[in-house]
Amino acid sequence: MFKTIKNFKWFFSISFLCVLLGVFTFITFINQNFIFLNENNLQYLLILDVILLIIFLILLVKETTKLFSQYSLKKTGSRTSLNYILQFSLFAFIPSLIVAIFSLILFNVALQKYFDSKITSAVNNSYEVAKKYIEESKRSIEADIFLISIDLNRYYNVYFTNPNQFKKFVRTQRLLRKIDEIYLIDSAGSILLKETNNPDIEFNVPTEKYFDKALEGKPVSIERTEEKKAAYMVKLNNYIDTYLYIAKNVQPQLLNYLDATEQAVNFYYTVENNRTGIKITFAIIYIIVVSMLLFLTIVLAITFASRLTKPIINLITASKNISSGHLNSKVPEIESDEEIKTLNKNFNNMIDRLKLQQDKLLVAERFSAWESVARKLAHEIKNPLTPIQLSIDRLREKYSEKLKDDKNEFTKYLETISRQIVDIKKLVDEFSGFARMPSPILKKIDLLNVIKRSLDFYKISHKDLNIELNTNSNKKFFIKGDSDQLYRAFINLIKNSIEAIDEKKQKDSSLLGKINVEIDKNNEYIMIKMLDNGLGFGDTKSMLKPYYTTKKDGTGLGLPIVSKIINEHNGDIEFIKNSKGAEIKIYLPTI
């Protein structure tokens, strides 16, 4: 997901900018106090939204075209990928289009209903009711101050003769008329008498303009909204330079309700005046969001289609290569679902087995051909060897006494010919053995015993060699095999290692020969690893070819015989170049 956003960072940046500016415009339309703009600037802001929308749509078309252009119908699997992409895009587009149309219609209808005459009347009436309630509260206080002033003017003589009695009288007036504060003050703002329900309350002296109005003899309303009070002041005519000031706390819920009602009314008429701009900005925001989601759906569809079809395309390509005879082809390992990974793994395993079977078949065919050649060579060479040997014996008997001067030289020639005949007989015997090697008789055997027997054979005659066997003695290594043929194979391999070590000793007399054999198994195969510190391998590709040898007296049949024995046991043999010497790995199926 993050990789997708990174690949289309410009597109998503423009998308985010468009949505942000659209929301900004929407908020500005419904609350012009959000930023300082006039009507003309609001239109410019709306035009900027439209320009960004056009840029967004151009980018949308460009990026979508780029995505689809990478799918050529000539490529394998491209048609399937396009079908998936189109289906996903169609499934995303149709619901989005329906929801978009429905939402725009619903928004338009709701906005029209929002400005219904009944709703407008209810909004206006609620505000008027709140205002009239506040005014009614003020008129009630105005009546109270008028009545209190009459009573105080009537009891003016008590104010001078019995101040305590007068103070009780004022308290009675406050409690009777449910007034929170009553003050008698002079024109300088000094408090002559104080009667409140909260002695710690601070008195704010009215400004001079209120004193001037009070001289007219009528109650004067004093602004105390910030203090959440309704206050009045009047001039007491029977007193010298004395003013009556009363205040009553207004309920906070009532003031909050009035503020909220006023804000709601202002918001209502702001929305009504800008309904066209609001519709346009809402449509722009919705188009951008829906288009962006649609594009994201296309990207996800392409990602999903690629994730789904790429393994199939790889399988198709690999199967084509296999049908053409290229068994070295493999299905690439890619990030995919577990089932697809399992399918790829099984397909590659199948290719490996086909390749193994093909190699074994080629080896078998090669051995069969060489067996036929070896059989014919052994027959053609062996037949004249006996007459040649008899002729040499007759020549020795008939002429050895007659050639007195050249007798030693004559005898030397005959012995040379005899030795060559013996060497040819050995070679013929190797050919015959290779040609007549019987098929293995398979039965349950312990491979570990066969390997131990092979190693013990050489440990006795080569005490200067360090021959080690590493294995887990608690494990059993049972296979279906022919112990005699496997014994012959391991004897040949150990013999080759000893000969390679002896050749290396001729160059380095201080060399301590070492042959290490490890045997282990898993659920399917037993693995035998042989490692020596001899000369190592040269050309590992040609080693299994019959009659290929790097030794002076070698026939080139030892390793091919070993390979044939291992193959006939359904196993595999690997010759590995190692810096320490020669490394051989043999795999045989376990039971």
- The CATH number assigned to the domain holding 585 equals 3.30.565.10
Confidence of residue 494 (pLDDT cuts 50, 70, 90): very high
CA–CA separation, 532 and 560 (whole Å): 20
Pair (446, 585) in one structural domain:
yes
CA–CA separation, 164 and 42 (whole Å): 68
The per-type count for the chain, helices as H runs and strands as E runs, is: 15, 12
Domain annotation covers residue 267 = no
- Which SS3 state, helix, strand or coil, does residue 437 take? coil
Amino acid, res. 478: F
> Which DSSP letter does residue 241 get?
S
Pair (54, 192) in one structural domain:
no
Confidence of residue 242 (pLDDT cuts 50, 70, 90): very high
What are residue 317's phi and psi, to 5 degrees? Answer: -60, -45
| Residue 566: CA count within 13 A, CB half-sphere | 28
- Decide: 152 and 237 in contact? Cβ < 8 Å: no
Q: Which of 436, 452, 471 is the last residue of a domain?
A: 436
Pair (398, 504) in one structural domain:
no
CA–CA separation, 388 and 379 (whole Å): 15
CA–CA separation, 280 and 287 (whole Å): 10
Domain annotation covers residue 32 = yes
CA 404 to chain centre: 98
Pair (423, 453) in one structural domain:
no
User: What rounded mean pLDDT belongs to the chain?
Assistant: 77
Higher pLDDT, 535 or 443: 443
Amino acid, res. 173: Q
Residue keyed to tokens 């390679």: 500
User: Is 182's pLDDT higher than 90?
Assistant: yes
Domain annotation covers residue 100 = yes
Pair (572, 464) in one structural domain:
yes
Pair (562, 511) in one structural domain:
yes
Q: Which of 436, 465, 483 is the last residue of a domain?
A: 436
Domain annotation covers residue 581 = yes
For residue 1, the model assigns a pLDDT of: 47
CA–CA separation, 252 and 265 (whole Å): 20
Pair (168, 254) in one structural domain:
yes
Higher pLDDT, 113 or 156: 156
Buried residues in 437-467 as b, exposed as e (16+ CB within 10 A): beebeeeebebbebbbebbeebbeebeebeb
Q: Which tokens is 129 given?
A: 């009711």
Q: Which tokens is 557 given?
A: 């049949």
Q: Which of 220, 282, 272 is nearest to 247 (CA)?
A: 220
User: Is 269's pLDDT higher than 70?
Assistant: no
User: Is 127's pLDDT higher than 70?
Assistant: no
Domain annotation covers residue 126 = no
Q: Which of 509, 528, 530 is nearest to 520 (CA)?
A: 528
Domain annotation covers residue 333 = no
Pair (452, 582) in one structural domain:
yes
Domain annotation covers residue 331 = no
Pair (432, 447) in one structural domain:
no
**Domain that includes residue 481, residue range:** 440-589
Pair (469, 567) in one structural domain:
yes
- Decide: 299 and 4 in contact? Cβ < 8 Å: yes
CA–CA separation, 147 and 413 (whole Å): 166
Pair (154, 85) in one structural domain:
no
Q: Which of 25, 20, 64, 59 is nearest to 41 (CA)?
A: 25
Pair (475, 420) in one structural domain:
no
For residue 506, the model assigns a pLDDT of: 86
What average pLDDT score do residues 260-277 get?
Answer: 62
Higher pLDDT, 441 or 404: 441
Question: Per the confidence metrics, is the pTM higher than 0.75?
Answer: no
Q: Which of 101, 249, 89 is nearest to 174 (CA)?
A: 249
Domain annotation covers residue 327 = no
Domain count, the chain: 4
